[in-house]
Amino acid sequence: MKFPAEPFRIKVVEPLKKTTVEEREKLIKESGYNIFLLPAESIFIDLLTDSGTSAMSDNQWAGLMKGDESYAGSKNYYHFEQTVRSIFGFEHVIPTHQGRVAENLLFSTVLKEGDVVPNNIHFDTTRANVEYHKARAIDCVIDEGLKVDSELPFKGDIDVFKLKKAIQNYGPDRIPMIMITITNNSGGGQPVSLANIREVSAIAHEHGIPLIFDACRFAENCFFIKEREEGYQNKSIAEIAREMFSYGDGCTMSAKKDGLVNIGGFLSLNDGRLAQKITNMLILIEGFPTYGGLAGRDLEAIARGLKEVLNEEYLEFRINQTRNLGEMLMQNNIPIVKPVGGHAIYIDAKGFLPHIPQKEFPGQALVVELYRHAGIRAVEIGSLMFAHRDAETGQMVYPELELVRLAIPRRVYTNAHMQYVSEALSEIYANRKSIYGFEIEYEAEFLRHFTARLKPVNV
Ligand SMILES: *Cc1c(COP(=O)(O)O)cnc(C)c1O
């Protein structure tokens, strides 16, 4: 069936508030035309992120009641540890309260000034954590992975030629790890093939470099492998995951994605000495090793979520819900990044609003209009997030892509909500010539998109 029905029924509901266009116009103006500054209660469909926004199952909620809040040796930790080991296969399991803390613990222990970390594309927090430790984060994704229209099945793959060149240029001694992000979040949620993972693993290990997965959306990546890579159609998601992780030496994980929980993460490693060092650091900044900044009940919810996310009916629904939204949009001529990735749709704002120049933030203009017109919150991934002044020339440098991301929370919205989003975008597309650009009124020095205030141009 092309449009699979939700493989769950709804047992608890959270009413959504409907607001009028006039109310939203006032709210978005008061928020400096920045959707990060909006009260979430004023949003009808919130597609800001798929991180920490999942709906937990009845089984996970029941698990919360089984929370063992002992400071040390909580039974939930053992369940969590055993579950992570059985799926990921790495020996040591270190809980953290978010994925970025796992990154920070790993990098602060391993990286030295001048080191280099290759990845397909580093996620923002990963890049920031690498750079904070005075190392260089380099992206080695295949060229097609950066093209809006390339329809390759595994656009998240690492270009092994670029990787080998990096190893040659910097030398393996300056590369303490190679990373692979599955799925490739910053590249549109595109999957990485097992063939590529196998090849990268061989190159890494030939040079004595460990391979670490950024595993946030590992189950979604496994589903794409099952669907698209020859020889995996009859394997279970758990089997594919086991093979995938067998090529690596560890992983960082934000359980807020494929852990199907609202908070949590972990780091898992085979290297016992490294794990010991990191555990000592964990005690300093997160907590005792059997809770790592989380409550026992949170660890229980993660353990249960990690088992549920392997369920194929769930994954089929999840991936197809996103894909079907993409297909509805394409049928209505909305320009989007193809093929549709696992967790989000990316609208090409330059194609949608060709009359707005990049310096007037076409992506942000579309984000504002989506909220104003329909109460939908999306996020700009374009000039507001990435444009910067070149330190040497003083010229503004604009990103190649000007995107608007619609991230789909897991198990939260029905297909009827997706239909609503599609219709809203079609209405906006029909009236797109009336949409105007923006200029910045206030910006912070770093990560300006979170707090910037804007105002309409020529109004
Ligand atoms: C979300 C995310 C992270 C960071 O995890 P947090 O839990 O938000 O700290 C790291 N890498 C990728 C690919 C992510 O999507």
- The per-residue pLDDT string of the chain (459 residues; one tens digit each, 9 = 90 and over) reads 666 799 999 999 999 999 999 999 999 999 999 999 999 999 999 999 999 999 999 999 999 999 999 999 999 999 999 999 999 999 999 999 999 999 999 999 999 999 999 999 999 889 989 999 999 999 999 999 988 888 999 999 999 999 999 999 999 999 999 999 999 998 889 999 999 999 999 999 999 999 999 999 999 999 999 999 999 999 999 999 999 999 999 999 999 999 999 999 999 999 999 999 999 999 999 999 999 999 999 999 999 999 999 999 999 999 999 999 999 999 999 999 999 999 999 999 999 999 999 999 999 999 999 999 999 999 999 999 888 888 788 888 898 889 999 999 999 999 999 999 999 999 999 999 999 999 999 998 878 899 999 999 976
Question: What is the distance in A from the centroid of ligand 1 to the CA of 101?
Answer: 10
Which residues fall within 8 angstroms of residue 202, CB to CB, at 6 or more apart?
none
| C-alpha to C-alpha distance for 298 and 304, rounded to whole angstroms | 10
Question: What is the distance in A from the centroid of ligand 1 to the CA of 95?
Answer: 14
Ligand 1 within 6 A of 189 CB? no
Task: Please give the sequence-ordered ranges of beta strands (E in DSSP) within 31-80, or none if there are none.
Answer: 45-46
For the record, the structure tokens of 419 come out as 């239909």
| C-alpha to C-alpha distance for 123 and 425, rounded to whole angstroms | 27
Map out the domains of the chain with their CATH numbers: 21-50+311-456 (3.90.1150.10), 58-308 (3.40.640.10)
Q: Whose CA is nearest to atom 12 of ligand 1?
A: 123
Instruction: Name the residue with tokens 């992206």.
Output: 139
Ligand 1 within 6 A of 123 CB? yes
For residue 189, what pLDDT is reported? 92
For residue 120, what pLDDT is reported? 97
| C-alpha to C-alpha distance for 353 and 355, rounded to whole angstroms | 5
| C-alpha to C-alpha distance for 249 and 269, rounded to whole angstroms | 6
Query: Which is the closest atom of ligand 1 to the Cα of 181?
Result: 13
Ligand 1 within 6 A of 120 CB? no
Q: Whose CA is nearest to atom 6 of ligand 1?
A: 99
Burial label, 388 (beta-carbon count in 10 A; 0-12, 13-18, 19+): exposed
CA nearest 140: which of 107, 205, 187, 106?
Answer: 187
Q: Whose CA is nearest to atom 3 of ligand 1?
A: 99
For residue 300, what pLDDT is reported? 98
Ligand 1 within 6 A of 343 CB? no
| C-alpha to C-alpha distance for 291 and 71, rounded to whole angstroms | 7
Question: What is the distance in A from the centroid of ligand 1 to the CA of 125?
Answer: 7
CA nearest 203: which of 246, 161, 240?
Answer: 161
Question: What is the distance in A from the centroid of ligand 1 to the CA of 428?
Answer: 31
Instruction: Name the residue with tokens 């927090």.
Output: 125
Please provide the DSSP assignment of 188-210 as one string: TSB---HHHHHHHHHHHHHTT--
For residue 2, what pLDDT is reported? 65
Tell me the best of 100, 101, 220, 405 to mutate to test the pocket of ligand 1, counting ligand atoms within 8 Å of each CB and taking the most: 100
Q: Measure Cα distances from 256 to 104, 111, 259, 408 in Å.
A: 17, 25, 6, 13
Q: Classify 367 as helix, strand or coil.
A: helix
Residue type, 103: E
Ligand 1 within 6 A of 184 CB? no
Question: What is the distance in A from the centroid of ligand 1 to the CA of 255?
Answer: 9
Q: Measure Cα distances from 94 to 82, 107, 361 in Å.
A: 12, 14, 41
| C-alpha to C-alpha distance for 316 and 6, rounded to whole angstroms | 10
Which residues fall within 8 angstroms of residue 195, CB to CB, at 6 or more apart?
229
| C-alpha to C-alpha distance for 132 and 122, rounded to whole angstroms | 14
Query: Which is the closest atom of ligand 1 to the Cα of 100?
Result: 9
Q: Check if the beta carbon of residue 201 is closer than 8 Å to that of residue 247.
A: yes
Ligand 1 within 6 A of 100 CB? yes
Question: What is the distance in A from the centroid of ligand 1 to the CA of 21?
Answer: 33
| C-alpha to C-alpha distance for 403 and 281, rounded to whole angstroms | 38
For residue 190, what pLDDT is reported? 95
CA nearest 424: which of 416, 436, 413?
Answer: 416
Q: Whose CA is nearest to atom 11 of ligand 1?
A: 123
Query: Which is the closest atom of ligand 1 to the Cα of 185?
Result: 13
Ligand 1 within 6 A of 181 CB? yes
Question: What is the distance in A from the centroid of ligand 1 to the CA of 416?
Answer: 28
Query: How many helices, marked H, and strands, marked E, lie in the chain?
Result: 16, 16
Q: Measure Cα distances from 13 to 157, 163, 231, 412 in Å.
A: 39, 48, 41, 10
Ligand 1 within 6 A of 187 CB? no
- Find out whether the peptide bond into 279 is cis, omega within 30 degrees of 0: no
Ligand 1 within 6 A of 270 CB? no
DSSP 44: S
For the record, the structure tokens of 257 come out as 């994605």
Q: How many residues does the chain have?
A: 459
Ligand 1 within 6 A of 182 CB? no
Which residues fall within 8 angstroms of residue 318, CB to CB, at 6 or more apart?
220, 223, 342, 410, 411
Ligand 1 within 6 A of 362 CB? no
| C-alpha to C-alpha distance for 46 and 50, rounded to whole angstroms | 10
Tell me the best of 119, 127, 216 to mutate to test the pocket of ligand 1, counting ligand atoms within 8 Å of each CB and taking the most: 216
The reported pTM is 0.95
| C-alpha to C-alpha distance for 292 and 133, rounded to whole angstroms | 22
β-bridge partners, 380: 404
Ligand 1 within 6 A of 256 CB? yes
Helix (H) or strand (E) run with residue 96 in it: strand 92-96
β-bridge partners, 403: 348, 381
Ligand 1 within 6 A of 150 CB? no
Question: What is the distance in A from the centroid of ligand 1 to the CA of 435?
Answer: 33
For the record, the structure tokens of 203 come out as 């190159």
